[in-house]
Chains A and B, each alone.
Chain A
């Protein structure tokens, strides 16, 4: 069954590019929801049927790490898988993200082929 995706990035350009890359990668997904930071993402997760989250790390208001931490404490949404999509893919920050439940990471810049390779198994 096609999965609904939530894209979390403060850059509207990047949200459009990630959405386009999902389509170009030929991945089977349903509806795409968008959020500009972690706070908005939590609101969307509480209201919509989201199957997988693709989130930036460096964002205003609530960054990707804070978002993971907050989400992990909320029963209804804590098990929804989160993928980090960020320029920040150092071992320490990705290690912290994974310790908070992130299932993987995709480094910007990326190509549709890379999106397919990394996200394909989760879609």
Chain B
């Protein structure tokens, strides 16, 4: 099993830095890590792959209402429907977090490559990992809702 104890505080710091510094939104950790996010409803997930000496995936899962609030804050203009701007903003958050995780997992980011970010969204979908990965899911809360940061690493 992967020991995430050293990684968790760094992911929390990176997430808070992104939200306070660029999204202009205050967030905090919302309880203990959980095993998996399970079925997402009316949500959007941004994800980015890691390859190299550590293989895996970083995902951020947001309810639509929070994704809209984030995109509105990000762009400085009202965004009321799930559109390309929302997909782009959530993908960029995954990208920024992925860049941080890359640096956390490998000395100065050496020897790990990032994929391009992608997003999935819908009324209901299930996010499941394969058996050969270890994963950690961190719940965060913002004024507009709760979201999850998930890291999967191949054993």
CA A109 to CA B96, docked complex, whole Å: 7
Interface of A, helix, strand, loop or mixed by DSSP: loop
A-B contacts, CB under 8 A, total: 69
Q: How far is the CB of A113 from chain B (nearest CB, A)?
A: 10
Q: In the complex, which residues 73-128 of chain B have their Cβ closer than 8 Å to any Cβ of chain A? A: 74-76, 84-85, 88-89, 91-92, 95-96, 98-100, 102-103, 106, 108-110, 114, 116
The answer, among B21, B74, B88, for a CB contact under 8 Å with A111, is B21
Q: Check A88 against B114 for contact (C-beta < 8 Å).
A: yes
Q: Are A90 and B21 interface neighbours, CB within 8 A?
A: no
What's the tally of chain B residues with a CB closer than 8 Å to chain A? 27
User: A12 — which chain B residues lie within 8 A by C-beta?
Assistant: 84-85, 88
Known: A13-B92, A14-B92, A93-B109. A109 touches B98 (CB 8 A): no
- Assess A11 versus B92: contact at CB under 8 Å? Given A88-B102, A108-B22, A109-B21: yes
Contact with B along A81-107 (1 / 0, CB 8 A): 000001111111100000000000000
Partner of B116, one of A16, A60, A90, A111: A60
Q: Closest chain A residue to B112 by CB distance?
A: A90
